[in-house]
Amino acid sequence: MAEENEIYTADDRLIVALDVDSFDKMKALVDELGDLISYYKVGMELYYSAGSDTIRYLKEHGKKVFLDLKLHDIPNTVGHSVASVTRLGVNLITVHAAGGRAMMQAATRYAKITADELGVERPKILAVTVLTSFDDQGWQEVGGHLPIQEHVLELASLAKSSGVDGVVASPKEAGSIREMAGKDDFLIVTPGIRPSFAQTDDQKRIATPSQAFKDGSSMLVIGRPITQAIDPCAAARLILKEIKENA
C-alpha cells in the first residue's frame, strides 16, 4: 500500500490541461482529481469563457497554474499583459517565440517588475515554438521554408538568448533543444503527450511520457487522455506511475 501511495503522489512535472469551456466543468474536474494533480494548464477556451475566476479557484486550492494564452503582439502590449496576469499569481505564462527578441524580453522584464512590486515569485515565461498540430504538409502550407525541427531549434535558440525561462515544443524536438540549451534549468514543456492507452486525436508530433522525458522534456502537458477518460483518476494514476518508473 505504501508503494501505491508513493506512485500516485502528485508530481509537478505533470500538467493537466483544463480544455473545457466553463468554470463549473473546470471545478468538477479539479475536485474529482483532488490531490492527484498539483499543476493545471488554463488555456484560451477556459480563460476566455470563465476569466480570472479560474485562476483564483485553482490558487485557493493550492494548485500551480500554467496560463497558456500564447501572447503575440508588440512588446509594450505583451509586457503589460504579462504584468496583468502576474498579479493573478500564475506560475507559467506563454508567449510566441515568433514575436521576436524584444517582445520576449519585454515579457520577462514586466513579469519581474510586477512580481518584485508584489513581493512574490516571478512567473516563468515560456516561448511557444511550433504548435504540435502541425505536420510537414501543414507547415509548408503556411510558408514554412525550413523543416519543422530546424525552425523549432532556431526559435528555441532565440528564446534562450532572449532570457526567457524555457520553451513549449513537441517531444520530437525536445532532444535537439536540450542539446542546444545545455542545462537542465532551461525548461522544455511538452504537449502532444499520449500514453499508450490513449488515442492521438489531432496531435501530429507526439510521444509517450517516458520517451518525452528521455528526450529532454522538463514538464508534460496532458489533457484529453485524463480529462476525457471514463475514470480520470485511474488515467492520472497510470500516467503518474509511468513518470515515476521512467523519468
Q: Which residues are catalytic?
A: 70
- How far apart CA 186 and CA 54 sit, in angstroms, is 28
Q: Which run of H or E residues covers position 64?
A: strand 64-71
Q: Is 140 helix (H, G, I), strand (E, B) or coil?
A: helix
Partner residues linked to 17 by β-bridges: 41
Inter-residue contact 199 to 228 (CB < 8 Å): no
Inter-residue contact 61 to 34 (CB < 8 Å): no
What are φ and ψ of residue 144, in 5° steps? Answer: -70, 110
